[in-house]
């Protein structure tokens, strides 16, 4: 009896937007529109007339949307919310994840809640991904620097790779420092000594 | 929980937007004024007024740095989350300015012979002549940025335009631009001018893309700028904490008003966790020492920021009603005695007096005629008497009474 909801995702971060879009489609919502650019947003909202707008809480463009809702006569009056506004824990989860939303007035809570819960979990998944990526990157960097330090030691002291590694590890243990930090010092010292 | 017996430290979480007019709140947290009252003031920086409103409404914040029109809009059910908000304390006066692109200003000079030291009204009239010229030539009308539909900037920009004979809904296009983006938007030609708070006007001049044509004091010196907003039920449940917060803010405001303290204040404001802007620009803004244009014209506005003096923190009910009158004037809402009564409950001088009185200098009245004195006069010489808002609004040549957009939405 109730028609499918039209959901607009406004997020300047394209990857995150597509992660949310995918989640919504998997949940059976096929009327999902993703927008990345504030330019032309007003016209798009009038044209698409979304029931729900999911928006990144960290964008200052929320104030522009407020202006648009105030001015426009053709846009249906939306209500701002952070997921379920009666539940403190879920509000905190939404704010931590960085999600806010506008929902057309009068829409039933039980229809909107799963959409917003989905957005929150996808926003979270995205920041987890970003963190993992950052960690992987720094692990890769560390491995590279250890390789270079080993090479320097092998050459200057004519020792094997295993011996060079053992030397670095011993130094790290003695100095109570990370292996990568010791390796970094070796690389830097070598550069300064011109070897 | 607030009970009179508990003398322990009370945590107050307050949201703010990085602007110079958050100084009193920041000084209260940084320079011991809150701690002295037994309050641990935790400040949370935010990016939009919509977030500030919603996070206060949804109890993420206990208090918030807000635009003075926000509690008024809430009382009227305007905006997309009109939850109840009251203000017991105004964070001061001043701080805003109107900046036009250097290109638009040059055209005003070419057409009307402006020398560069004209007053705000003359600048508005010159802009009017340029707009008439643009219309004759069929050119696109200027696009001007403000910050939020229910902002002092919106009403000040409209007041200034209208004083010069420009209709803000017909002769220009008003848009919302986040203040930190105004310089970029101006230099990219996306907007032709804006009205925002400090330091962004001076930043645009320093970047040689903007020309300041009016400051808040030119439009209405007594105009309240930002306020402290709290939920009425929080105020009811925590009267002691609220009173202590008001005392802390009062002391911090007095400290901010001392010119010799403004260097230290500028240094704190400059930090990345606050405004994250150059310390010398912030200090010059706080002292009201302006460079108004890239040609090097200077102007000193001694009261550009009044944080405390002359009852700057007193939440005049008549000022809430003036804000309401401008909402009516521009068609955001229609007037009714019931709405005017609701607006009067948004500003709470009783809470201010309860925390700080009795003390010399605290007004005994909640309402006064605004703009009647020479020193707080409006740019167009109008006088605001809250007794008769409909007559006041009809007295303006430029208004939007025949086309009330918002009232239709409300129905």
Quote the minimal CA–CA distance from A152 to chain B in Å. 41
pLDDT at A115 over 90: no
Give Cα B59 to chain centroid, integer Å: 24
Residues B189 and B329 in one domain: no
Give how many domains chain A has, as a whole number: 2
Residue A160 falls within a domain, yes or no?
Answer: yes
What pairs with residue B197 in β-bridges? B96
Give Cα B103 to chain centroid, integer Å: 27
Residue range of the domain that includes A71: 7-132
Closest Cα partner for B206 from B122, B278, B134? B278
Q: What is the complex's ipTM, to 2 decimals? A: 0.88
Closest Cα partner for B380 from B158, B169, B226, B212? B158
Q: Which of these ranges, A22-36, A117-131, A175-189, B103-117, has the smallest mean pLDDT?
A: A117-131
- Residue with the bigger pLDDT between A81 and B326: it is B326
Residues A125 and A169 in one domain: no
Residue B406 forms contact with A (CB below 8 Å): yes
CB contact under 8 Å between B80 and A79, yes or no, is: yes
Q: Which residues of A touch B153 (CB under 8 A)?
A: none
Residues A18 and A111 in one domain: yes
Cβ distance B381 to B219 under 8 Å?
Answer: no
Nearest to A63 among B81, B176, B409 (CB): B176
Question: Chain A: residue nearest B330 by CA?
Answer: A71
Residues A170 and A88 in one domain: no
Helix or strand or coil: residue B119?
Answer: coil
Residue range of the domain that includes B214: 96-222
Quote the minimal CA–CA distance from A96 to chain B in Å. 11
Rounded CA-CA distance B197/B157 in Å is 12
pLDDT at A3 over 90: no
CB contact under 8 Å between B50 and A80, yes or no, is: yes
pLDDT at A72 over 90: no
CB contact under 8 Å between B176 and A59, yes or no, is: no
- Residue with the bigger pLDDT between A97 and B110: it is B110
Residue B62 falls within a domain, yes or no?
Answer: yes
Name which of B176, B231, B326, B406 to mutate to probe chain A: the one with the most chain A Cβ atoms within 10 A of its Cβ.
B176
Residues A44 and A77 in one domain: yes
CB contact under 8 Å between A80 and B405, yes or no, is: no
Residue B188 forms contact with A (CB below 8 Å): no
Residues A14 and A77 in one domain: yes
Give every strand in the sheet of B63-67, ordered side by side.
B39-45, B10-16, B63-67, B226-230, B86-90
Residues B267 and B319 in one domain: yes
Rounded CA-CA distance B224/B152 in Å is 8
- Residue with the bigger pLDDT between B208 and A39: it is B208
Residue B233: give its domain's CATH number: 3.40.190.10
pTM of the model: 0.87
Mean pLDDT of all residues in A100-112: 82
Quote the minimal CA–CA distance from A12 to chain B in Å. 15
Quote the minimal CA–CA distance from A3 to chain B in Å. 24
Rounded CA-CA distance A55/A69 in Å is 15
Supply the DSSP symbol for B271. Answer: S
Residue B406 falls within a domain, yes or no?
Answer: no
Residues A80 and A171 in one domain: no
Residues B214 and B254 in one domain: no
How does pLDDT run across B380-399, given as a tens digit for each residue? 999 999 999 999 999 999 99
pLDDT of residue A44: 87
pLDDT of residue B410: 38
Residue B287 falls within a domain, yes or no?
Answer: no
Residue A1 falls within a domain, yes or no?
Answer: no
Name which of B18, B19, B46, B48 to mutate to probe chain A: the one with the most chain A Cβ atoms within 10 A of its Cβ.
B48
Residues A92 and A128 in one domain: yes
Residues B165 and B196 in one domain: yes
Residues 56-75 of chain A whose Cβ lies under 8 A from any Cβ of chain B: 57-67, 69-71, 73
Number of helical (H) and strand (E) elements in chain A, helices listed first: 7, 5
Rounded CA-CA distance B100/B98 in Å is 7
- Residue with the bigger pLDDT between B392 and A77: it is B392
Residues B390 and B311 in one domain: yes
Residues A151 and A89 in one domain: no
How does pLDDT run across B83-96, given as a tens digit for each residue? 999 999 999 998 99
Residues B76 and B118 in one domain: no
CB contact under 8 Å between A91 and B81, yes or no, is: no
Residue A68: band (very low, low, confident or very high) from pLDDT cuts 50, 70, 90: confident
The C-alpha torsion from B330 through B334 and B336 to B338, rounded to 10°, is: -100
How does pLDDT run across B295-343, given as a tens digit for each residue? 888 889 888 999 999 999 999 999 999 999 999 999 999 999 999 999 9
Question: Chain B: residue nearest A65 by CA?
Answer: B176
Domain boundary among A111, A132, A153: A132
Q: Where are the beta strands (DSSP E) in B93-186?
A: 93-94, 96-101, 143-146, 173-176
Rounded CA-CA distance B125/B39 in Å is 49
Name which of A40, A50, A70 to mutate to probe chain B: the one with the most chain B Cβ atoms within 10 A of its Cβ.
A70
Domain boundary among B189, B222, B255: B222
Residues A23 and A102 in one domain: yes
Residue A10 half-sphere exposure toward CB, CA atoms < 13 A: 24
Give how many domains chain B has, as a whole number: 2
Residue B291: band (very low, low, confident or very high) from pLDDT cuts 50, 70, 90: confident
Residues A106 and A189 in one domain: no
Cβ distance B219 to B378 under 8 Å?
Answer: yes
pLDDT at A13 over 90: no
Cβ distance B262 to B51 under 8 Å?
Answer: no
Rounded CA-CA distance B373/B378 in Å is 9
Rounded CA-CA distance B133/B111 in Å is 9
Quote the minimal CA–CA distance from B365 to chain A in Å. 34
- Token readout for B380 is 């167009």
Among A35-39, A120-124, B33-37, which range has the highest average pLDDT? B33-37
Residues A187 and A115 in one domain: no
Mean pLDDT of all residues in B251-263: 97
Count of CB atoms within 10 A of residue B296's CB? 9
pLDDT of residue B5: 45
């Amino acid at each position: 009896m109730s028609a499918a909801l039209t959901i607009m995702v406004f997020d300047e971060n394209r990857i995150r937007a597509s992660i949310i879009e995918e989640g919504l489609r998997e949940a059976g919502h096929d009327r999902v529109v993703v927008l990345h650019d504030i330019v032309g947003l007003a016209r798009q909202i009038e044209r698409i007339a979304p029931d729900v707008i999911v928006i990144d809480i960290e964008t200052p463009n929320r104030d522009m949307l407020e202006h648009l809702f105030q001015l426009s006569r053709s846009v249906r009056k939306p209500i701002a919310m952070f997921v379920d506004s009666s539940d403190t824990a879920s509000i905190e989860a939404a704010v931590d994840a960085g999600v806010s939303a506008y929902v057309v007035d009068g829409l039933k809570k039980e229809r909107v809640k799963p959409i917003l819960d989905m957005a929150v979990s996808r926003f979270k998944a995205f920041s987890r991904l970003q963190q993992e990526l950052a960690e992987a990157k720094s692990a890769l960097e560390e491995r590279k620097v250890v390789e270079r330090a080993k090479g320097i030691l092998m050459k200057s002291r004519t020792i094997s790779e295993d011996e060079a590694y053992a030397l670095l590890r011993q130094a790290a243990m003695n100095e109570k420092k990370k292996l990568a930090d010791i390796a970094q010092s070796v690389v830097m010292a070598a550069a300064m000594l011109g070897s | 929980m607030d009970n009179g017996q508990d003398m322990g430290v009370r945590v107050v979480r307050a949201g703010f937007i990085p602007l110079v007019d958050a100084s009193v709140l920041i000084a209260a947290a940084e320079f011991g004024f809150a701690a002295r009252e037994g309050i641990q003031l935790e400040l949370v920086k935010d990016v939009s007024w919509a977030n500030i409103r919603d996070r206060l409404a949804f109890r993420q914040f206990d208090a918030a740095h807000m635009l003075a029109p926000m509690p008024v809009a809430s009382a009227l059910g305007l905006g997309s989350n009109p939850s109840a908000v009251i203000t017991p304390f105004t964070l001061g006066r001043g701080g805003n300015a109107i900046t036009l692109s250097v290109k638009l200003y040059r055209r005003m000079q070419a057409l009307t012979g402006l020398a560069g030291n004209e007053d705000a009204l003359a600048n508005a009239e010159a802009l009017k002549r340029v707009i008439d010229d643009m219309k004759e030539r069929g050119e696109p009308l200027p696009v001007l940025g403000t910050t939020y539909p229910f902002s002092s900037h919106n009403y000040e920009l409209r007041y200034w335009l209208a004083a010069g004979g420009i209709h803000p809904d017909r002769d220009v296009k008003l848009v919302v631009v986040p203040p930190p983006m105004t310089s970029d938007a101006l230099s990219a030609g996306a907007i032709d001018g804006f009205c925002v708070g400090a330091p962004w006007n001076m930043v645009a001049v320093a970047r040689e893309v903007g020309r300041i044509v009016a400051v808040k004091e030119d439009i209405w010196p007594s105009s309240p700028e930002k306020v402290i907003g709290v939920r009425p039920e929080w105020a009811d449940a925590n009267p002691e904490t609220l009173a202590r917060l008001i005392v802390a803010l009062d002391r911090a405001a007095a400290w901010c008003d001392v010119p010799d303290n403004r260097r230290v204040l500028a240094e704190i404001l400059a930090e990345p966790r606050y405004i994250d802007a150059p310390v010398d620009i912030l200090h010059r803004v706080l002292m009201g020492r302006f460079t108004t244009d890239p040609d090097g014209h200077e102007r000193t506005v001694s009261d550009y920021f009044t944080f405390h003096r002359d009852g700057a923190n007193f939440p005049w009910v008549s000022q809430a009603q003036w804000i309401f009158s401008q909402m009516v004037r521009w068609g955001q809402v229609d007037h009714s005695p019931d709405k005017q009564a609701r607006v009067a409950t948004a500003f709470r001088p009783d809470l201010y007096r309860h925390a700080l009185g009795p003390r010399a200098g605290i007004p005994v009245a909640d309402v006064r005629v605004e703009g009647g004195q020479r020193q707080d006069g409006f740019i167009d010489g109008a006088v605001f008497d809250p007794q008769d808002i409909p007559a006041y609004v009809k007295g303006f040549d430029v208004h939007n009474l025949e086309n009330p957009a918002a009232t239709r939405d409300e129905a």
